[in-house]
Amino acid sequence: MSELLYGSTRGGGGKVTASQAILKGLADDGGLFVPDSIPALPMSMKAISELSYQETALAVMKQFLTDFTEEELRSCIANAYDDKFDTAEIAPVKEAGGIYYLELFHGSTIAFKDMALSILPHLMVTAAKKNKIENEIVILTATSGDTGKAALAGFAEVPGTKIIVFYPKDGVSPIQKKQMVTQKGKNTFVVGINGNFDDAQSGVKAMFGDKELKKELNSHGYQFSSANSINIGRLVPQVVYYVYAYGKLLQKGVIADGEKINVTVPTGNFGNILAAYYAMLMGVPVGKLICASNENKVLFDFFHTGVYDKNREFILTSSPSMDILISSNLERLVYKIAGNNAGQDALFMRELSEKGSYKITEEMREALADFTGGFADEAETAEEIKTVYQQTGYVIDTHTAVASFAARKYREATKDTRKMLVASTASPYKFTRSVMEAIGGKYDEIEDFALADRLAEISGVPVPAAVEEIRTAPILHKTVCEISEMQAVVKSFLAV
């Protein structure tokens, strides 16, 4: 098989191998790494339907990560998708009310980020050896709630790495926050910032682009890499579960071989739905991709107008992992629909940086025919949780509810009867209060962990280990800083 190389969406820096792209995280010119082409699936969907999750992962990832040996990939996959997941299926598909929910929350931090962040540390350590890297790798990342904990759990005590996570101090759920600030591991650092996720993300990107800081770190034996969804080592493992889900629907007889399905994904940073698009380009039969937004509906507006405009009020919602106005991974799609035109993409990204908006061409809008946008406001999100529970007994979290509502609205509006797969991105236990109040009742006097016990009673699903272990865990990370202090905090952690 010929080697697949990666280049920047903005055209600078030449081509790199998959392992080099994983180590760098972000291209030198600030662009995102994209493969020269999207490879085809190596076998039929019928053959894939007979594979385990781990076997599907190998089949898909071999096509993208061509400078890794099969033995290296097998080892990374075996270390990632093991008993950290509470089901052997890894990502089961559950039917409720005529919708098929792809449960991506069975990993150690009960959110979909586990699917990629369980394997990224192993890919990164393998890539470092392959490229004879002697520096210690410092994972620097911003989180809107889930990436942080999943990355911390993945990199904790991994030799040759340190991880520093910034999160919006008042912009995550109580359980998300407790998961992060109780994280063990001498190489883990967690910082709350007085700002929102976009502030945290912008601060992290600025550090990645700071050449003086890079030199200073190098002189102390460190180099930055990213665990954010912009890292191609995060995106490729996400493609796997869409391939696997189609295979499972085929195996169960829900769909015929070659029958197209629609896929709805609750989306903030755009990586999760981009992975579904890549799966479609590889050959998974997908009809329509529905990009579901909460009240921060910058992506919904983009798909309906062709204008990306972040100049709007930032709204804190009950689905905080989607409270994002700068969807970093959208750049990969913009590059693709511009005909892989790096100059055009760089121009749009400059406009976004300088003016906060850009408008794509009519030709590019036509290239978005596979996508449509949907959104749910706070009342609709809560109503969807309640409706699904009352009609089916199945409990979904706030992010999944946004997608579930958008999927149903799409069906009603278009009369499209294709089978609908909804990416269920977090356990309801991660957002217990919002979920319980949506189902019905006032719980002002009850703390979150007691509420988790109530949720177990009504759902019949036991409280996950991820929640049980933080009930009484001591808080280990207490650092809070201003946006302007982020670089100083990083340097103090690293004694630079």
Please calculate the CA angle 266-389-105 and round it to the nearest 5 degrees: 45
Backbone angles phi and psi of 105, in degrees to 5: -120, 30
Give the 3-state secondary structure of residue 290: strand
Residue ranges of E strands in 194-250: 222-225
What is the pairing mode between strands 99-103 and 420-424? Answer: parallel
Q: Is the dihedral of CA 402, 304, 335, 66 positive or negative?
A: positive
CA–CA separation, 35 vs 45, rounded Å?
23
- Using the 8-state DSSP alphabet, how is residue 262 labeled? E
Instruction: Respond yes or no: is residue 184 known to be catalytic.
Output: no
Please calculate the CA angle 430-436-442 and round it to the nearest 5 degrees: 130
Backbone angles phi and psi of 435, in degrees to 5: -70, -45
Cβ count within 10 A of residue 52: 13
CA–CA separation, 341 vs 11, rounded Å?
8
Cβ count within 10 A of residue 136: 17
Start-end of H helices in 101-210? 113-117, 120-130, 146-155, 174-181, 197-208
Asked whether the beta carbons of 105 and 398 are under 8 A apart, the reply is: no
Residue 35 CA to its chain's centroid (Å) = 19
Tokens of 315: 């709204």
Give the 3-state secondary structure of residue 164: strand
Q: Which of 46, 62, 84, 113 is catalytic?
A: 113
CA–CA separation, 249 vs 235, rounded Å?
23
Estimate the crossing angle of helix 232-251 against helix 53-64, to 10 degrees. 130
- Using the 8-state DSSP alphabet, how is residue 322 labeled? G
Asked whether the beta carbons of 298 and 268 are under 8 A apart, the reply is: no
Q: Which positions are catalytic?
A: 113
